[in-house]
Amino acid sequence: MSGNDNKKLQDALDLLKEGLLDRAIEALKQLVEERPDLIEGWYNLGYALAEAGKYEEAVKAYDEALAIDNFIFEIWFNKGAALYAMNDYEAARECYEEALEINPEDAEAWNNIGNCHSRLADGESAIEAYTRAVALRPDYAEAFYNKANAHFIEEDDERAIAYAELAVELNPELDKMVSQWINVARNRLASKREDAEYKRRQLDKSSSKEP
């Protein structure tokens, strides 16, 4: 990157830091028009467009960056985030998978791919992804909450309650979200246990009557 290109890029990044998104986007568009081979220009243009809520344009900018080099974790990750914001969960999942091919140790990518699986109603895969996330980051409260919620949806209430309580212990601010469903899980679990106990007693009675 030439000194002139570097200055233009830095000026655009300074505008981004100041929250002047429209001006940053225009500066970056001008930069990539002049230097269409500049991956930093396309990547930061994608980021700026996503920050402005222009997700379709952001995806196109990330694609231009990936056409130059498709082995950069951050580009795949951010493209996945933009697609997720567009409710295109299948395409977002594919992007996070590409990102994890590059860096399989990124807990946030595992959490996000779990969110994609959850949105696609694949609870088992979502739980597996959240489990990978918390294994990598044992203090990852959000991923523990997401794992708890996925277990709740799957009606695995014992695990849902345990992970929800752990999530709140790590981040008390999650209590408001947990409280929306944890009593349902507790009541459902109590009902299952009562039903199992009733069936056990009936079986015992039946066995005691046999000659």
**5, amino acid identity:** D
- 35 three-state secondary structure: coil
The amino acid that residue 88 corresponds to is D
pLDDT at 197: 79
In terms of Cβ atoms closer than 10 Å to its own Cβ (0-12, 13-18, 19+), residue 166 is middle
User: Does residue 61 have a pLDDT over 70?
Assistant: yes
62: pLDDT confidence band, cut at 50, 70 and 90? very high
pLDDT of 203? 74
Q: Which domains does the chain have, with CATH numbers?
A: 25-104 (1.25.40.10)
On average, the pLDDT of the chain sits at 94
Q: Give SS3 for 42.
A: helix
- What's the mean pLDDT in 71-98? 98
Both tokens assigned to 81: 């985030």
If 0-12 CB within 10 Å is exposed, 13-18 middle and 19+ buried, where does residue 11 land?
A: middle
* The predicted structure's pLDDT at residue 1: 65
- Tell me the average pLDDT across 169-174: 98
pLDDT category at 2 given cuts 50, 70, 90 is confident
SS3 annotation, 151-184? HHHCCCHHHHHHHHHHHHHHCHHHHHHHCCCHHH
pLDDT, residue 40, reads 96
- Scored b (16 or more CB within 10 A) or e, 78-96 reads bbbbbbbeeebbeebbbbb
pLDDT, residue 199, reads 79
Q: What is the pLDDT of residues 5-58, one digit of tens each?
A: 999 999 999 999 999 999 999 999 999 999 999 999 999 999 999 999 999 999
**Cβ distance 16 to 36 under 8 Å?**
no
Q: How large is the average pLDDT for residues 160-178?
A: 97
Report the percentage of the chain scoring pLDDT > 90. 88
Return the amino acid letter for 57. E
pLDDT band, very low/low/confident/very high, at 194 (cuts 50, 70, 90): confident
pLDDT over 90 at 3, yes or no = no
